[in-house]
Amino acid sequence: MDNVGLDNNDELLTLLEQYSTQKRFYGKAYPKIPFVFSHNERDFIVEEVPLYPFSHTGEHRILKLRKKNLGTLECVKMIAQALNIKERDVGYAGLKDKNALTYQYISIPDKAFLINKNNLHKIEQIKIIESYLHNNKIKTGHLQGNKFFIRLKKVTPQNFERIKDEASLAEKHGFPNFFGYQRFGNFGDNYMQALQIKKPPNKQNSLQQLLISSLQSVCFNLWLEERLKISNIMQNFSLKDSMYALSHMYNISMNREVFEILHTQALPLTPLIGDVCMHYPHGKFFYFGDKKANDSQDVDLARLLLSDTERLKNGSIGITGLLSGMSCKKVLECGRKEVLQTLDSMQPSKSKNDQNRVRLAKQDAFTIEQKFTYPIMANGIRRYAWVYPTDLNIKYNAEKAQVEIAFTLPSGAYATSFLSYIKNGDVREF
């Protein structure tokens, strides 16, 4: 299976052009809140929260590093050279911002560490804070979350109150889990280079994997923005007008009872029949509106929808979006229309975990998802569309007109996306 044709796919190229030229929609109607955000090591600090405690025994050395203005891949390269090991022998849970002060855990073979550890102290941008032994290498995703400390500038007292209110609402109700602008390189368009990559995931180098993931991220962001526009219609138009708009603009035609339930709930991210949901912050996948194993045989759709929307409201489950991959190819080749009837039987069945990782939406949800689904040279997986910040703390320095905001986000969520949601605009703009 290859990636031939993506660089000539007019539909995809149009989407990518749209992403590069249009302003983002965050699902809010109020004017953006003006403040200055500087992405630097003084005003942006991030610290990883490990997924598990370390065993203090084993063949792997875990190092907690403090890095200044040093990206993860650059750091990995420096460490590999210092210890005379291959870059793939250095384990890390995720990529961290370059223009920041970051605290990150990495794993290396303990044998190499003991032989060449003095070389690590010669790297000026890195300081070893803690050291442990562990029985496993750290792998991508082995992360509970990240703690952030961020300083915002040129904030008036009135705008501080707005920031505080919006941040508190996001803590209670969540925010859209957009990939941040850092994902797309210095010029914001590194995903264009991914169109030329033909190698399968297991043969890609770290740069190629990064570019491919950027292409996946663009498709996800565009899908999520489309879903927010649908939600905005549901929240701000009458039932009749919403039904008309979704039918004519998005080809979504639910029966009136279903539409009325979803319209009445007025969730910030409106669910659709066939959405792939997942227990939050981790758990099993299931389809929105489907019967569960413990449901009685005579339970009706209305009760199922009310139950699922209530769980979406309280944050115990979440809608997920697709990061397209090669596993989508077989489904897409069958044709968009046929998929709606045969999707369940087309799911890969190598193992239960594989099936969950690449599960596609169905019915109304697939009507939207299919527009952003391509056989990208990556392993398909799903990502929460909506996440919740915790441990929120906000302080205002009136003399300096600065806000200090601290919070924790789950693994994979971007602090810059959280700030953009609060601002209701690009966080890089005043």
97 is catalytic: yes
What pLDDT is recorded for position 295?
64
* Residues spanned by the domain of 30: 18-40+147-174+389-423
How far apart CA 363 and CA 366 sit, in angstroms, is 5
| End-to-end Cα distance, the chain | 46
> Does 381 lie in the same domain as 398?
no
What pLDDT is recorded for position 21?
87
What pLDDT is recorded for position 296?
63
Q: Which residues contact 219 (CB under 8 A, 6 or more apart)?
A: 15, 322, 323, 324, 372, 373, 374, 376
> Does 236 lie in the same domain as 156?
no
- Domain membership flag for residue 5: no
> Does 275 lie in the same domain as 394?
no
What pLDDT is recorded for position 300?
84
> Does 218 lie in the same domain as 366?
yes
- Domain membership flag for residue 7: no
Which tens digits make up the pLDDT trace of 316-357? Answer: 999 999 999 987 765 665 544 444 444 444 443 444 444 445
- Domain membership flag for residue 240: yes
> Does 370 lie in the same domain as 316?
yes
Closest CA to 266 of 231, 240, 223: 231
Q: Determine contact, residues 385/177, Cβ cutoff 8 Å.
A: yes
- Domain membership flag for residue 183: no
Residue ranges of the chain with per-residue pLDDT less than 50? 1-4, 335-356
> Does 29 lie in the same domain as 123?
no
Tokens, residue 310: 């209530």
What pLDDT is recorded for position 291?
78
In the DSSP assignment, the letter for residue 31 is: P
Q: Determine contact, residues 380/367, Cβ cutoff 8 Å.
A: no
Number of domains in the chain: 3
Within its chain, how far is the Cα of 245 from the centroid? 28
> Does 310 lie in the same domain as 198?
yes
- Domain membership flag for residue 128: yes
CATH number, residue 61? 3.30.2350.20
- Domain membership flag for residue 346: no
> Does 315 lie in the same domain as 255?
yes
Burial of 75 (0-12, 13-18, 19+ CB in 10 A): buried
> Does 320 lie in the same domain as 368?
yes
How far apart CA 237 and CA 263 sit, in angstroms, is 9
**Helical ranges in 189-335 per DSSP H:** 191-194, 206-236, 239-250, 256-265, 301-313, 329-333
Catalytic residue chosen out of the listed positions 7, 43, 97, 241? 97
Q: What is the dihedral of CA 161, 164, 168, 170, to 10 degrees?
A: 110
> Does 73 lie in the same domain as 152?
no
How far apart CA 60 and CA 211 sit, in angstroms, is 29
What pLDDT is recorded for position 329?
64
What pLDDT is recorded for position 36?
98
Burial of 102 (0-12, 13-18, 19+ CB in 10 A): buried
Q: Which residues pair with 319 in a beta bridge?
A: 277
CATH number, residue 262? 3.30.2340.10
- Domain membership flag for residue 135: yes
Tally of CB atoms within 10 A around 22:
10
Packing angle, helices 157-173 and 415-423, rounded to 10: 120
Q: Determine contact, residues 299/291, Cβ cutoff 8 Å.
A: yes
3-state class (DSSP) for residue 107: strand
> Does 307 lie in the same domain as 242?
yes
> Does 373 lie in the same domain as 265?
yes
Tally of CB atoms within 10 A around 307:
14
- Domain membership flag for residue 184: no
